[in-house]
Structure 1
Amino acid sequence: MLFLITLVGILKFIYTIELEKLNFLEKTYINREKRGIVNKAKFELTDTHIKYHINFRLDKLLIRKALSRISEETCFKFEETSNYLLATLRYKHGLYFLTKFPVKKEKNRDIYLLATVKDITKVMRETLHALGVDYEHNRPDRNKYITINFKNVYSVFMPLFEITYTPILTFYNIGYDYTSVMHFTVKEFSRNGKKTIESKRKLMEPFTGRSTHLTFNDAKLLSLKYCINPKLKNAKCHNYGYPNPTMPYICKCLPFYYGPKCENRVRNFGYCSRINYFKAMSSITSRTLTLGNTCNFFIYTIPGKRIKLKLFFHHGLLSNHHCKNGKSIEARYFSDFSVNGVIYCPSIFPISIVSESNFIILRSTFSESKSKVKIMFKMF
């Protein structure tokens, strides 16, 4: 009997908690989506100097660090205030990571964070959402890149996975970015521990929604939306560059290009193999590359053709599922190479990639130590 009484008590407690969660979600998100998702333009910010307030239950250092990472890449400046009423961004304790927009034309937005989860990616994600950036997986073209398993999504979270028909992302010709901080992870809001999101590029699933810094395109979108004079938005930047938000007459470049217009490929220094530009032919080409610090390599072939690439490390390093101490190689193989690619860590297993266009970029980070990787490639 005592066991049954205890069990009933536990079940009632669980039911109360779940009911509280549902009520919280209904109040903070679902109603807002029904009222305001198509009218977000009227809530756009008019100032990039933002005051924010943090609830005492939250990790202030974590939030400050997240805001610092946004400021580093954009024109936004954040100022903490103890006056709740003066804050544009109000970080509150909640049961989920969610953002609530004002019903009327008030400037403040409430950002709910789960105090027990120290996740800087989700702090940045909800902050950018409050600044007017939509979730990446809700883009109108998302079905080309991912599949949403709605059967695995807890029903009350369905609005978080609905396509948003807005031109904000396609207007700037920004490619779909699996690693964007605005992308959910593959099991986020799952009711059964199974995937809610499946990538159609399987190599990208482990990295989906996992960035701990703004990606190049996260910063680009926010900058083009708020930081750059409209007359400069169509500046002639090459290789997916865009006007620098702090020096708008100079282009901000991807890390493997430089120059006022991002017109030059970077050269290798340090321990890196000096030759870093290769042409894929109809027969297999093999190269052993020396890595150290940051190295960049470019593989190209004739327009209209693609590239088959295989990478593997020397000396049978132990396999691991996470890159440690900054030792990894990123392979950008999409037709839009501004989008982050697959990360290959030291492993006894090779990785095989087929490019979407006639171009692949490899970028390695291996601190000071010398390492070697073998690449084999051919035109496809």
Structure 2
Amino acid sequence: IFDTQKNTFRNKRDVLRNFTSGWTDHNIFFKAIDPIKLTNETKEVFKLLSKKLCFRFAEFPNNNNPPKKKGFCLKYSNDEYGTHLGKQLDTEECQFIYLRDTNVNTTELLRWVLYGLGFDFEHNRADRRNYHVIHRDNIEPKFLPYVKKKKNNLESFYFNHYLQSACCKTPIYCRNGGTPSCDMCNKCFCDEGYHGSYCEAIVEEDKTICPLTSVELKKPDGFNMKLINVCQYSIT
């Protein structure tokens, strides 16, 4: 987030804050609290984000006297929308991500981790009327707070090109809807049907490949967005 008053970049979430180093210079830790378990598929979410973003994720150290760390703690709750996403942690080390199922759905976890990192929903943009039509009569009252427009002129959303411009000194231009890579500043992530360093070439044989193995696209709720490759993720 860019602070126009101080003319500096600031971290939106407390889980990212480290006043002794830059936000890309340290790990963001994660762990699960019983009865939630960290499965291989759950860990793949954090591995995927580490590959696609500038952030580095790691499990909380498993010992009796771990050094003080900050990160996401996956916790069971009947109300996943109670997830705290403010500027202070729920505890000294944890920003809770509440999940309603002990069998963690990787797409839901991906959504909440991105949200916890400061990426907001596209339909909350200040200029959303240029892109979306919100039918409030079709939305349950408990979900209405999640469709409020932001007043900020500059905000980080899911489709801000993985913050590539903040990581690379000379961002490249990707063709055909491609997205610049953050960890490889001279390459692009290409949209469906294209490939090449700049997404300039057409794929002859179209194959749908999702980076997560347990993707389950639920009934469209009006806010399903294509986020990574050709996978569909519901963001509400």
Common fold, TM-score beyond 0.5?
Answer: yes
Residues in 2 aligned to 1:103 and 1:260: alpha-carbon distance in whole angstroms: 38
**Match in the other structure for 2:181:** 244
Q: Which one has a larger percent helix, Structure 1 or Structure 2? A: 1
**Match in the other structure for 2:12:** 43
Structure 1 vs Structure 2 CA RMSD: 3.8
8 Å Cα contact 1:54/1:60 also seen in 2:
yes
Note closer, same or farther for the CA distance 1:70–1:55 as it changes in structure 2 (3 Å cut): same
Secondary structure at the aligned position of 2:134 is classed as strand
Secondary structure at the aligned position of 1:112 is classed as strand
Is 1:57 the equivalent of 2:35? yes
Note closer, same or farther for the CA distance 1:339–1:129 as it changes in structure 2 (3 Å cut): closer
**Match in the other structure for 2:99:** 113
**Match in the other structure for 1:146:** 133
Structure 1 residue 77: deviation in Å?
A: 2.9
Is 1:101 the equivalent of 2:85? yes
Question: Residue 78 of structure 1 is aligned with which of 45, 53, 57?
Answer: 57
Q: Which one has a larger percent strand, Structure 1 or Structure 2? A: 1
Note closer, same or farther for the CA distance 1:262–1:146 as it changes in structure 2 (3 Å cut): same
8 Å Cα contact 1:53/1:87 also seen in 2:
no
**Match in the other structure for 1:137:** 123
Specify the code of the residue in structure 2 equivalent to 1:78: F
Cα deviation 1:291-316 (Å, max 9, x = unaligned): xx639xxxxxxxxxxxxxxxxxxxxx
Q: Which has the higher contact order (CA 8 A, sep 6+)?
A: 2
8 Å Cα contact 1:139/1:169 also seen in 2:
no
Secondary structure at the aligned position of 1:129 is classed as helix
Structure 1 residue 51: deviation in Å?
A: 1.1
8 Å Cα contact 1:53/1:84 also seen in 2:
no
8 Å Cα contact 1:148/1:161 also seen in 2:
no
**Match in the other structure for 1:232:** 170
TM-score (norm 1): 0.41
8 Å Cα contact 2:36/2:75 also seen in 1:
yes
Residues in 1 aligned to 2:69 and 2:79: alpha-carbon distance in whole angstroms: 24
Residues in 1 aligned to 2:139 and 2:189: alpha-carbon distance in whole angstroms: 40
Aligned residue pairs, count: 188
Specify the code of the residue in structure 2 equivalent to 1:100: H
TM-score (norm 2): 0.61
Secondary structure at the aligned position of 1:100 is classed as coil
Cα deviation 1:76-126 (Å, max 9, x = unaligned): 332111459513222222222243135459885322222346432221111
Specify the code of the residue in structure 2 equivalent to 1:256: G
- 1:331-342 map, 5 Å: none
Note closer, same or farther for the CA distance 1:138–1:241 as it changes in structure 2 (3 Å cut): same
Note closer, same or farther for the CA distance 1:338–1:135 as it changes in structure 2 (3 Å cut): closer
Question: Residue 92 of structure 1 is aligned with which of 71, 75, 91?
Answer: 75
Residues in 1 aligned to 2:102 and 2:29: alpha-carbon distance in whole angstroms: 24
- 1:160-309 map, 5 Å: 160-166=146-152, 167-168=154-155, 217=159, 221-224=161-164, 228-229=167-168, 231-233=169-171, 235-266=172-203, 268=204, 294=207
Please list every run of 5 or more consecutive structure 2 residues that lacks an aligned counterpart in the other structure.
1-8, 17-22, 209-225
Specify the code of the residue in structure 1 equivalent to 2:12: F
Cα deviation 1:259-314 (Å, max 9, x = unaligned): 33332333x25xxxxxxxxxxxxxxxxxxxxxxx639xxxxxxxxxxxxxxxxxxx
Residues in 2 aligned to 1:117 and 1:94: alpha-carbon distance in whole angstroms: 12
